Amino acid sequence: MAMDDPRVVVVGAGPAGVRAAEALVKHGLRPLVIDEAPLSGGQIYRRPPPGFRRTTKELYGFEAAKAEAIHRTFDGLTDVIDYRPRTLAWNVQDRVLYTACDDVVTPVSFDALLLATGATDRVLPFPGWTLPGVYTLGGSQVALKHQGCAVGRRMVFLGSTPLLYLVAYQYARAGAEVAAVLDTAPFSAKVRAVPKLLSNTSMFVKGLYTMAALHRLGVAIEHGVRPVAVEGDDAVAGLRYRRRGEGEVRIDCDAVAFGFGLRPESQLADLADCDFRFDPVFHQWLPQCADDGRAGEGIYLAGDGARIGGADAAEVSGELAALSLIEDLGGGPGDKARSVELSRRLSSLVRFQAGLAGAFPWPADMARSLPDNAIVCRCERVTAGEVRQAVQRPLGGGCEINRAKAFSRIGMGRCQGRFCGLSSAEISAAAQDRDISSVGRLRGAGPVKPIKLATVLDE
């Protein structure tokens, strides 16, 4: 399509969306940028509300300069783009993106759609995870960054992700009491991953510094643990866990923050008819796109919404996808030299993320060994036992996860499988003695997030 005032929409104003919008503006376009948050920056560079007293350095640590650059860049674009904050993109159909703001639905037709939707915590349930006082790592980070408060007085950080150490360090630096950092990955996994991690020396050194800083602050760090249960009647009172090769240990705490890496916010990509495939490195289904962001006719993906790569990779992939979009709209071959440079940088950053995936592996055994009474889907209160029962119904063949959803209501709640989808697939596969990739994934459906029924009916 020729570049005669095309309608270009960017969803997301994190690092990928900001760099994409910047590139589009440089090439003479005025994109529509839609973002759920009231301020740009995304999760990683989330801006605090007005009046917040902590400095940029205190908020973002090593990444303060990058955060300031992203914020400054976007602030300089607001007069030359159509920016719509506090706006939810909730459906895509027939080249129309449906948005909602203040209970008003606005359909937006587009010639090109660039999805920079970011990622959310990858959750793996365990007994007691639904008690008040249990948070995801991302949620606990939002509380600290956006509200300037801790999620508890004495906290335990649990999981398998570099975010585990970062958030614990941020809390400890802010003066909170961190009782322990419990890493489900063995230390040997990190040692094996070093060759790939050295592809990004600066990030590798920052990670080592964060771990060493926690030690200097007196925070206990354990590797290779397995959570047994969060204890408490109406709120968190403690956590029981197993040490590697030893018995159970109990630690007193009033809050637990946990996470097992990230998963792409890929529902809009699903509704835009992007292909998906199971990635054995990241152990999850990912939307498919070329390295340059092309994912279908008029559809482009960038940042963690396409592949988990972190903030640096998001910036690179956002600009790269925008250059591909410009070329496809008839804006000429674009900046080929810049595209080649960006592709080379992205390749190195993706290699580093593959190293992180090896250093902090997804503990699939935790899902497979969940007791039958453990809640997997907190929205619908579906237990692990109910998922196992659903896949054992006679169907004349294996039970795909969407069929299990129909029988058990797993993934039918407010989050639409964001937080239970991966673990329910693990349980389903184990119950049928099948490979995880063979049971499929929970398909996306609009609205991708809850909106008022009256809002849709008014539309």
User: Residue 394: what pLDDT?
Assistant: 57
In a domain, 3, yes or no: no
| pLDDT at 186 (0 to 100) | 95
Using 50, 70 and 90 to split pLDDT, how confident is the model at 55? confident
Q: Which residue has the higher pLDDT, 449 or 31?
A: 31
- Tally of helices (H runs) and strands (E runs) in the chain: 15, 23
**Based on the domain organization, do 250 and 268 belong to the same domain?**
no
Domain range enclosing 184: 123-260
Residue 447 lies in a domain: no
On whether the CB atoms of residues 19 and 68 are closer than 8 A, the answer is no
What mean pLDDT comes out for the span 184-191?
96
Tell me, what's the pLDDT at 456? 66
pLDDT higher at 53 or 394: 53
Average pLDDT, rounded, for the chain: 91
Nearest to 448 by CA among 135, 20, 158, 98: 98
317 and 386 within one domain: no
Cβ–Cβ < 8 Å for 183, 224 = yes
Q: What is the CATH number of the domain that holds 216?
A: 3.50.50.60
Residue among 2, 46, 5, 90 at smallest CA distance from 451:
90
| Averaged pLDDT for residues 313-326 | 96
Residue 459 CA to residue 446 CA, distance in Å, equals: 14
Are 147 and 251 part of one and the same domain? Answer: yes
Helices (H), 1-97: 15-26, 56-60, 64-75
Q: Are 406 and 392 in contact (CB under 8 A)?
A: no
Last residue of a domain, one of 244, 260, 276: 260
Q: Into how many domains does the chain fold? A: 3
Q: Do 160 and 182 share a structural domain?
A: yes
The verdict on 92 and 136 lying in the same domain is: no
What lies within 8 Å, CB to CB, of 433 at 6+ separation is none
Burial of 82 (0-12, 13-18, 19+ CB in 10 A): middle
DSSP per position, 243-282: -TTS-EEEEE-SEEEEE--EEE--HHHHHTT--EEEETTT
- Residue 248 has what pLDDT? 93
* 64-76: b (≥16 Cβ within 10 Å) or e: eebbeebbebbee
pTM exceeds 0.85: yes
Per-residue confidence (pLDDT) for residue 335, from 0 to 100? 77
Within 8 A by CB and 6+ apart from 370, the residues are 125, 126, 127, 376, 384, 423, 427
Which residue, 331, 357, 383, sits at the end of a domain? 357
243 neighbors 423 (Cβ within 8 angstroms): no
Q: What is the pLDDT of residue 6?
A: 85
Q: Is the pLDDT at 316 greater than 80, yes or no?
A: yes
Q: What is the predicted pLDDT for the residue at 317?
A: 97
Residues 228 and 422: their CA atoms lie apart, in Å, by: 20
Same-domain pairing of 274 and 209: no
State the pLDDT confidence band at 54, using cuts at 50, 70 and 90. confident
444 located within any domain: no
Task: Average the pLDDT over each of 2-6, 29-33, 106-110, 446-450 and give the range with the smallest value.
Answer: 2-6
Give the Cα separation of 171 and 94 in Å (integer).
Answer: 45
Q: What average pLDDT does the segment 269-279 reach?
A: 95
The tokens 């080249």 sit on which residue? 95
Burial tier of 107 (Cβ tally within 10 Å: 0-12, 13-18, 19+): exposed
Strand partners, 304: none
Does residue 381 carry a pLDDT above 90?
A: yes
For residues 145 and 240, membership in a common domain is answered with: yes
Residue 330 located in a structural domain: yes
Q: Mean of the pLDDT values across residues 101-114? A: 94
Same-domain status, 112 and 146: no
Assess whether 49 and 89 both reside in one domain. Answer: yes
Please, how many CA atoms are within 13 Å of residue 10, restricted to the half-sphere of its CB?
A: 36
Nearest by Cα to 226 from 346, 370, 113, 106 = 370
**Residue 28 included in any domain:** yes
Percent of the chain with pLDDT over 90: 75
The proportion of the chain whose per-residue pLDDT surpasses 70, expressed as a percent, equals: 96
Mark whether 178 and 146 lie in a shared domain.
yes
Asked whether residue 255 is domain-assigned, the answer is: yes
Mean pLDDT of 50-58: 80
Domain with 416 in it: what CATH number? Answer: 1.10.10.1100
What is the pLDDT at residue 1?
A: 40
Q: pLDDT (tens digit, 9 = 90+) per residue, 205-222?
A: 999 999 999 999 999 999
The reply to whether 165 and 256 lie within a common domain is yes
Residue 77 reports pLDDT greater than 90: yes
- CA-based end-to-end distance of the chain: 30
Check residue 397 and give its pLDDT: 59
Examine the domain organization and report whether 197 and 208 are in the same domain: yes
On whether residue 432 sits in a domain, the answer given is yes
